[in-house]
């Protein structure tokens, strides 16, 4: 493998992973903090992403925690997208299509997973 | 859905911290420890426990992968190739788990606990350190001169072989991940190292890199099916994440070999308990 290609791919992937974990931890801890003040607002299930975004804006602790969970799950998905873009940038089309296929498969699971 | 009280959620958090710590010390994913704790101590339904475990696995593997990627230990192309198979396996499992009896899942998980225990006895210490050799993949047709050039530059060359076997093993690992909430590293790492010619450190780093996608593929399905319970998932994920950081700090201060032997006994005992309860 060429070292330039290796450096080009690794950096954006590491940034995406770190960003996802940090954002999700902030949301989770924020939700826990708010739930200490309003424990009655905490729900035991997750809703749709749109619903949780709406609840997060309303400072509902469940919204923050559920969105934090979703961001954490989404982080590897974003990593796959970052890898696809990185491979496209260095014109490694074989692995661009590998990454793209993985992304499509994951989206099939998300949008059709409720049966 | 399991209705955890605040006290139970706090209990789950501390249990997850212990799970994450031992997982990091012993080279296990959090799922192997978190799921028995949730189902046997807190009586969480197994599918909710699996969902919580998947999110916890994403948290810890992603955190570790950041370090492995930055230090260039991950073979990203190999990881992406194997992820094709592991994602399909995880999707298959995610779509079918709703039709699988909880007892069957418990029995399958018990088998994995026993396999993990035996694997721990066989495993040698080390290989996961981030210091030491750097590795570089070379094509199968690389000449001796090219190999020697890498060695003189301080890089250990390796060639990847038996890719079809690696893909098959990744498919199995992905399926088990989706069914049982584990990362699948207990299958991927030995296959990469023993059969595909991948050095141990690269195998561990690449497996860790892949686990996030494997778990996310199933977790997305569990999310859309409503199996994720925040009252369990949030303390589990945060606890395992914190515990993993503690475990990494402690790894050079404890006798891991003794801990491994004790943990093998605990794993086998837990497996027997789960089998008895399932039957």
pLDDT for A115: 54
pLDDT for B44: 92
pLDDT band at A75 (very low <50, low <70, confident <90, very high): very high
Residues of chain A positioned with their CB less than 8 A from the CB of B81: 95, 98
Residues within 8 A of A (CB atoms), B 72-131 only:
72, 74, 76-77, 80-81, 83-84, 87-88, 90-91, 94-95, 98
pLDDT band at A2 (very low <50, low <70, confident <90, very high): very low
Read out DSSP for B107-135? HHHHHHHHHHHHHHHHPPS-S--SSS-EE
Rounded to the nearest integer, the mean pLDDT of chain A is 84
Q: Cα–Cα distance between A93 and B157 in angstroms, integer?
A: 24
Per residue in B181-222, pLDDT tens? 888 888 888 888 888 888 888 888 888 888 889 899 889 888
Residues 6+ apart with CB under 8 A from B172: B89, B187
> Which residues in chain B come in under a pLDDT of 70?
123-133
pLDDT for B170: 92
Nearest in space to B17 (alpha carbons), one of B247, B231, B263: B247
**pLDDT greater than 60 at residue A1:** no
Q: Which two tokens stand for residue B4?
A: 């955890």
pLDDT for A3: 47
pLDDT for B185: 82
- When CB atoms are compared, the residue of B62, B218, B223 closest to A70 is B223
ipTM metric = 0.87
What's the whole-model pTM score? Answer: 0.84
Residues within 8 A of B (CB atoms), A 83-112 only:
83, 95, 98-99, 101-102, 105-106, 108-111
């Amino acid at each position: 493998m060429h070292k330039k290609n290796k450096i080009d791919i690794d950096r954006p992937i590491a940034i995406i992973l770190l960003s996802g974990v940090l954002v999700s931890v902030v949301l989770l801890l924020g939700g826990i903090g708010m739930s200490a003040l309003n424990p009655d607002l905490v729900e035991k299930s997750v809703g749709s992403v749109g619903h949780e975004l709406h609840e997060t804006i309303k400072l509902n602790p469940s919204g923050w925690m559920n969105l934090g969970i979703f961001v954490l799950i989404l982080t590897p998905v974003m990593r796959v997208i970052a890898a696809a873009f990185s491979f496209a940038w260095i014109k490694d089309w074989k692995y661009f299509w590998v990454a793209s296929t993985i992304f499509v498969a994951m989206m099939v699971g998300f949008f059709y997973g409720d049966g | 859905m399991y209705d955890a009280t605040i006290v139970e959620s706090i209990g789950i958090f501390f249990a997850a911290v212990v799970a994450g710590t031992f997982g990091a010390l012993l080279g296990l994913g959090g799922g192997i420890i978190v799921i028995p704790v949730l189902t046997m101590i807190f009586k969480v339904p197994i599918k909710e426990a699996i969902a919580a475990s998947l999110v916890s696995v994403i948290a810890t593997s992603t955190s570790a992968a950041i370090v492995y990627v930055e230090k260039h230990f991950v073979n990203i192309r190999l990881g992406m190739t194997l992820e094709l198979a592991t994602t399909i396996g995880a999707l298959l499992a995610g779509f079918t788990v709703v039709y699988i009896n909880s007892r069957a899942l418990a029995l399958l998980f018990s088998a994995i606990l026993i396999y993990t225990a035996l694997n721990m006895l066989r495993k040698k210490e080390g290989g996961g350190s981030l210091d030491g050799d750097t590795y570089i993949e070379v094509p199968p047709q690389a000449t001796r001169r090219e190999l020697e050039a890498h060695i003189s530059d301080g890089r250990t060359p390796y060639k990847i072989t038996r890719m079809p076997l690696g893909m098959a093993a990744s498919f199995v690992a992905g399926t088990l991940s989706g069914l049982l909430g584990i990362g699948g590293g207990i299958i991927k790492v030995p296959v990469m190292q023993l059969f595909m010619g991948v050095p141990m450190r690269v195998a561990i780093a690449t497996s860790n890199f892949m686990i996030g996608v494997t778990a996310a593929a199933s977790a997305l399905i569990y999310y859309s099916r409503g199996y994720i319970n925040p009252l369990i998932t949030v303390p589990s994920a945060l606890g395992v994440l914190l515990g993993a950081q503690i475990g990494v700090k402690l790894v050079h201060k404890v006798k891991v070999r003794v801990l491994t032997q004790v943990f093998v006994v605990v794993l086998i005992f837990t497996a027997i308990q789960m089998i008895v309860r399932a039957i």
